[in-house]
Chains A and B, each alone.
Chain A
Amino acid sequence: MITRRQMILGLLSAGGASLCPGLLKAGGNTLLGAMSGWVFEPDRLRALLAASERILPGVVAAGFENYVNYWLVREPFNRAADWKPLLNIGAVHLDRISRRRYKRVFADCKTEQQDELLASFQRGEIKARRFSSDAFFQRLAMVCAESFLSDPKYGGNRGRVGWHFIGHQACWWEPRGKLRTGPGVMAY
């Protein structure tokens, strides 16, 4: 029987590498990179960070980079196996379209320009072979939400900033959090 862990290691070493052979080298340079298969090349990451900040302001300061680089393909990932390649290709297209429209890479555009570009991605207007820009946008938005509101151990909710933002009325999801009212005592 293949265990979850063996499966992940298998995908990381074989699947991850074969999906993006060019990136393996970049990933191999750091210990974390080696553990997570590969990390984004600096240019791709820059585009993704700029886009994610427009989608969910504050997400970058909260540690989006950690989440997307190191946690997205690590255990437990399951459904996220094909997310990273999609984000990577999306980043390429972000830069490609912004160069064409504004003569500079996405991260160097003005925020209004970035928003305009992202809106066309969101509406699925960017056409490219085997790439659906709305699917990319949705995946990136989902990863933003995950990183901002997940357990801080994944690196994307640094100092529980995401949980603080959404307030503590509903703090019962946070381990060791305080329960304002209610008959029970938190057992954590």
Chain B
Amino acid sequence: MGKAERTDVVVIGSGAGGAPVAVTLAEAGARVVILERGQAYTIRDFTHDEVAVCRRDFFVPFPYPGHSPHTIRKRGQDRYHLTNEGWVGVCVGGGTVHMSGFTYRFKESDLRLRSMTGGIANADIADWPISMDDLLPYYDLYEARVGVSGRAGVNPFETRKRPFPLPALRPHPAARMVDEAAGKLGFHPFPTPRAILSVPYGGRPPCNYCGFCGDYGCENGSKSSVLASLLPQAEKTGRCQVRSGCMVTGILTDDQDRAAGVVYLDARGEEHKLEARVVVLAATAIESARLLLLSESGRFPHGLANSSGLVGKNLTFSTFGKGTAIFERHKLEKKLGPEGMDLPFLLRSVQDDYWNEKNGLLLPKGGTYNFLLHHPNPINAAVRLMMESKWSLWGRKLKDRLHEYFHDELWLEFEVFGEFLPHSGCYVDLDPRVRDGFGLPVARITNLHHPASDEVNKFCVRRGMDILEAMRPAPKKVWPFTWSSTTYHLQHGTCRFGTDPARSVLDPDCMAHDVRNLYVTDGSFMPSSGAVPATPTIMANSFRVAEKIAGRFRRHEIPA
């Protein structure tokens, strides 16, 4: 290890949790170093190569021992096996680089789940120690800084007082069919807000409507990833440095239990010590918990900031369901006209069931229905057709079916994002047997669902199916594709925040109860998962925490 280097703030992870803190503090005058274990890509590295990006998992590591696997045990399994699930996006910009960018906000019922339900058997839910009013201005700030498009005032259940910074993207004409069908059934469909530019913004060009958002990096710079938006802004201050290929292996503390810096390995495998006045951990809920558990010492025998024993517990993902309808293109064109039939976005969502006391289930909640068109990936479409025929579709029949799919079909789907209840059966700890390429124990994920979240998800898929079936012209086929499954790259809860140090890891400002000046700003802080993708909430909270840290710097509360 060379001579220790010093900086004001070190941020571990360059994604949704890390970038807002980094840019805010760098602009406030602090020297910031971001350590990112993944590579730094530019938009030139982003192509529509389905084999490289999707079928060989471009953005996540290999699931082999000695590289960077996770191990996992799911429902119905009795053993752990190697996987790359649980990784979000291992690159500069993190998961925001390949996200679809559905930017819904949380609602009061997400923050007050415990008091509104009075508790749910076997679920460890807690109210958030902050209110929606604490978050609202930071949602606005987030949207303005990265560029979010949408239309306010349509969704009667929205959590916002101000318009979107950018107008909504242009939807596929079939959006009209969703509006009609959902409206007929008493729902209130609204344009899905997206972290995608509809008009030029901040020196970036608007979307070219190629449709390759989810899973792909945007080669146009129009998707509002932190790689396209916040990180360049941070680097422009001249005080923020992003170091890629740098794996943090431990967090250092001083003799007064304050965070003092980190130890990391650079891309060549050389170990460095970086001293800092503030350490911000934002490496995803799973990897942040792992790093805290790995940073054990004499003073912290069960892992750093873990006197409550809750680091890694209460892991939540997002429950996922999906239904599909097949429409005949020529019938659609008759109704909707030929104009715009190639547009990739449907951009319709429904949140009427978000809070639903009439569903008669243990959890009086539903979720968000997001209507969208089938991803343009051609290989995936072909494999899905074969798979759904149980592989009996091959030969001439397959060729004909492919032709039909691509020439005269439009697959319209909905996804359900649902509350994933925290409970004792879903957590992350260190795998006692498997080590990664750095010789460190890998994260071991246990994911058994709480029956109440599964039940609700099933209910939601049925409700979404009602809308698909009510659409006109009638679909030629409608079926529920999946329900009660898990979206692994939406992850939260492993260092929940709260006021009681015995029942939470972080304080309401996301600083560790046990270790001063150690902050965690990825999804780890969230005591409940909410029923929308949490990326905007993570980023809003990260901006909120950044201002708290900046305030402490200004008041000289953080020793030099």
Contact = CB atoms under 8 A, between A and B. Distances in A.
How many interface residues does chain B have, given as a range? 35 or more
A173 B49 CA distance: 8
Interface stretch (A22-30, A32-40, A74-82, A99-107): A74-82
A165 B342 contact: no
B301 interface: no
Nearest to B377: A173
B58 interface: yes
A57 interface: yes
A150 B51 contact: yes
B49 A151 contact: yes
Contact of B398 (A56, A172, A182): A56
Contact of A142 (B211, B342, B383, B406): B383
Interface in A104-125: 115, 118, 122
A150 B50 contact: yes
A185 B220 CA distance: 11
Interface in B16-57: 37, 47-52, 55-57
A68 to B, nearest CB: 13
Given A1-B265, A76-B52, A172-B344, A145 B209 contact: no
Given A55-B394, A77-B56, A175-B47, A170 B406 contact: yes
Contacts of B339: 181
Nearest to A118: B394
25 contacts: A1-B245, A1-B265, A58-B399, A76-B52, A76-B56, A79-B56, A134-B391, A148-B382, A149-B382, A151-B50, A166-B402, A167-B407, A169-B407, A172-B211, A172-B376, A173-B210, A174-B48, A179-B209, A181-B338, A181-B340, A182-B209, A184-B208, A184-B209, A185-B208, A188-B219
B206 A184 contact: yes
Contacts of A56: 394-395, 398-399
Nearest to A111: B395
Interface in A134-188: 134, 137-138, 141-142, 145-146, 148-151, 154, 162-163, 165-167, 169-170, 172-175, 179-188
A182 B345 CA distance: 11
A128 interface: no
Contact of B342 (A115, A122, A180): A180
B342 A181 contact: yes
A170 B394 contact: no
Nearest to B210: A172
A106 B395 CA distance: 16
In the A-B complex, list the 9 residue pairs whose CB atoms are closest, starting with the nearest. Answer: A166-B406, A145-B382, A184-B208, A78-B56, A76-B56, A149-B378, A150-B51, A2-B437, A184-B209
A180 B394 CA distance: 31
Given A182-B343, A186-B208, A57 B396 contact: yes
Contacts of B80: none
A7 interface: yes
A183 B438 CA distance: 48
Contact of A55 (B52, B55, B170, B395): B395
Contacts of A137: 391
B379 to A, nearest CB: 5
Given A56-B399, A166-B402, A181-B340, A78 B62 contact: yes
Contacts of B49: 150-151
A2 B67 contact: yes
B212 interface: yes
B394 A169 contact: no
B436 to A, nearest CB: 9
A154 to B, nearest CB: 6
Contacts of A169: 329, 341-342, 406-407
A110 to B, nearest CB: 14
B267 interface: yes
